[in-house]
Amino acid sequence: MRFRTLKQLARLCEDEGKPISQLMLDEQARESGRTADQEFAKMASYYDIMKEAVRKGLTEPTRSRSGLTGFDAQRMSAYAAGSEPLLGEASALSLAYALAVSEVNASMGRIVATPTAGSCGIIPGSFVSVQERFGWRDEHMVAGLFCAGAIGYVIANNSFVSGAEGGCQAEVGSAIGMAAGALVELRGGTPQQAVHAVGLALKNTLGLICDPVGGLVEIPCIVRNGFGSVTALAAADMALAGVRSVIPSDEVIQVMLEVGGSMPEKHRETAKGGLAQTPTGRRIMKDLYGKDGAARGTSGTAASGTTQSETYGAAEAGTARTARSGTSEAEQAETAKAAQLETLGATQPETPRSARTASSGADQRESSDPAH
């Protein structure tokens, strides 16, 4: 790639009279040795997956594997259609679509990491909703993904895009910046305006910690994707209106690096701080992993249930499961999850966790063999 900073990227675009998307596509083809058509087709297949994830999240059951989350996109889209959302319908739908993709992700559906799975809802949420609104063709949106990718490439190589390294600002924040810049280009803004949108957006998420409850990509990740899609629209609108990021966007990216680098480990995807360690967060973790909640807790001692092995694919699993001794609350919860796992994809009524039963988890058994 011939650019390392957003300033260089905008300069190249101006010198060569290309939008960011076209410059990125040309650079990508040169880097990979494949044709621009081939690379465009690959990105187009990714956009198809994004649209399908939006559709799936709005119309099919999305209860997560843990049972903690699901169906919020459907709540939000029904509300957006039936009430008069404070946000306005367009923004409310963008939010609903972003929730949809993130819920599909949490329920082991197919998504595209943009830039990560934890932040996979923001770009599809904002892209699909504005496409419907303005009647744009898919090719326009696919070009927009190259623009978003160029921005993400600069952020990732100068700062970071993983929560474990830099907190949620690095995942959700980067995705918002990528979406915002791309939305500017999609609406006809200049490369300079797109770059300003990135800085405006990133400033709004600086310092955001990664504190997933139970270590799972669910709470608060899913709603942060919803908020993120709306923030991306807002940042793009500001840039299109002529608002500038007084601190240049490349310098804001450096701030993200500085802030993420000084973020304590407990706020970088370890579930050892933040929302994950609230009384409710700890209770959820206890329900998921065992009676001490020590699986990812702070004590460092192993919960009794966590060193047991599980066997999959065994023909005699049903009998073995009944033979085990000392069934704990945690094991019961785990079996309930196994049963739920098998019914994912089938129409599933929304029942509270305690109401689910373990009737068909026959392909899993647990033994107390501490093999490792």
Partner 1 sequence: MRFKDVFSIIGPAMVGPSSSHTAGAVRLGRIARSLLDAEPQWAEIGLFGSFADTYRGHGTDLALIGGLLGYDPDDARLVRSAEEARQAGLQVTIAPSHGLAAHPNTAEIRLGAADSVITVRGASIGGGNVEIERVNEFDVRFTGSYPTLLVFHADRKGMIAEITGLLSGSGINIGSMDVDRAGRNGNALTVIESDLVVPASLLSSIAALPDVQTVRMIDIMEGMR
Q: Which residues 265-324 are close enough to bind partner 1 by CB under 8 A?
A: 270-271, 288-289, 295-296, 302, 306-315
Q: Is 370 in the site for partner 1 (CB under 8 A)?
A: yes
Q: Which 111-150 positions form the footprint of partner 1 (CB under 8 A)?
A: 111-118, 120, 123, 145-146, 148-150
Q: Is 107 in the site for partner 1 (CB under 8 A)?
A: yes
Is residue 76 helix, strand or coil? helix
Phi-psi domain of 212 (left: phi exceeds 0; alpha: psi -120 through 50; beta: other): beta
**Shortest Å, Cβ 115 to partner 1:** 5
Q: Which structure tokens are listed for 172?
A: 């959700």
**Shortest Å, Cβ 335 to partner 1:** 11
Q: Which 17-56 positions form the footprint of partner 1 (CB under 8 A)?
A: 24, 27-28, 31-32, 39, 42-43, 45-46, 49
Interatomic CA distance for residues 230 and 227, integer angstroms: 5
Interatomic CA distance for residues 189 and 184, integer angstroms: 5
Interatomic CA distance for residues 225 and 208, integer angstroms: 13
Among 57, 58, 60, 66, contact with partner 1 (rule: CB under 8 A):
66
Find all residues with CB under 8 Å of 322, minimum gap 6, and list them: none
Q: Which 152-181 positions form the footprint of partner 1 (CB under 8 A)?
A: 152-153, 156-157, 161-162, 164-165, 178
Stretch touching partner 1 by CB under 8 A, among 187-195, 231-239, 240-248, 338-346: 338-346
Looking at this protein, which amino acid is placed at residue 199? G
Looking at this protein, which amino acid is placed at residue 169? Q
Find all residues with CB under 8 Å of 111, minimum gap 6, and list them: 49, 50, 53, 101, 104, 105, 117, 120
Of 80 and 276, CB closest to partner 1: 276
Q: Is 13 in the site for partner 1 (CB under 8 A)?
A: no
CA nearest neighbour of 289 among 270, 306, 277, 272? 306
Stretch touching partner 1 by CB under 8 A, among 87-95, 99-107, 188-196, 349-357: 99-107
Of 34 and 133, CB closest to partner 1: 34
